Amino acid sequence: MKTSRIQRQELCTEPAAEDAADLAQLLSLVAHGDHQAFEMVYGVLAAPVYGMVLRVLRDPAQSAEVTQEVLLEVWLTAYRYDKAKGRPAAWALTIAHRRAIDRVRSETAWNRYEQEAAVDRSNHEHGSLDEVGDCVADLIEQQQMRDCLDSLSKLQRESVTLAYFGGYSYPQVAALLGVPLGTVKARIRDGLIRLRECLT
């Protein structure tokens, strides 16, 4: 089984203070759809985000999956970052921590719901409606992401999926699809723009 790009990266802490200004500038560019700036943000944040998520989930495969979700959220919501409220890496790690906790909560709620339903399906008072609601909300969010991915062209969808859910680098995606690197970058840029429009 292929080890994802994130899993191969060294787990590290939040980037140094002197990098914060550069990262804030990059996020500003990302907020305006600059795909090259996002690649740089991805390179800076992938390892610390993965480290944060792994500390919560303790599962490398799930942590890699959630990390991809976090970085996609950074792309989609970069316009929300306010440098007056803190450093950019702290903002991203807050998103990472929230998503990791949400994953734990939704899995716990779903497991509890299934166990209680198996014991007595007729008793609707079992379990916590709030926890089951969290699980349902998570499933709806996942379905929305799938629907938005389905709205992309086939070429855009396969490029985005390989790069941001498969963990392949852009050159690897180009090699896998047998197309020039510039073509892959254009497909991914256009696909991410359409994803952001669909999800927001």
| 23, 82: one domain | yes
In the chain, the number of structural domains is 2
Domain CATH for 162: 1.10.10.10
Longest dimension (CA), the chain: 59
pLDDT of the residue at 145: 76
Residue 45 lies in a domain: yes
| 172, 80: one domain | no
Domain CATH for 83: 1.10.1740.10
Flag whether pLDDT at 21 surpasses 60. Answer: yes
Flag whether pLDDT at 12 surpasses 50. Answer: no
Q: DSSP labels for 51-72?
A: HHHHHHH--HHHHHHHHHHHHH
Residue 181 lies in a domain: yes
Give 80-85's long-range contacts (Cβ < 8 A, gap of 24+).
81/24, 81/27, 81/28, 81/31, 83/24
Residue 118 lies in a domain: no
pLDDT tens sequence across 154-184: 888 888 877 776 677 788 888 888 889 889 8
| 13, 86: one domain | yes
Residue 115 lies in a domain: no
Flag whether the pTM goes above 0.85: no
User: Which of 106, 138, 172 is at the close of a domain?
Assistant: 106
Residue 134 lies in a domain: no
Residue 19 lies in a domain: yes
- Look over the chain and give the mean of its residue pLDDT values, rounded to a whole number: 76
pLDDT tens sequence across 46-56: 888 988 888 88
Residue 40 lies in a domain: yes
| 91, 159: one domain | no
| 20, 92: one domain | yes
Q: Two tokens at 123?
A: 């008793």
Q: Two tokens at 186?
A: 């254009």
| 10, 92: one domain | yes
Domain of residue 54 covers 5-106
Q: Which of 157, 167, 150 has the alpha carbon at shortest distance from 188?
A: 157
Residue 123 lies in a domain: no
| 95, 16: one domain | yes
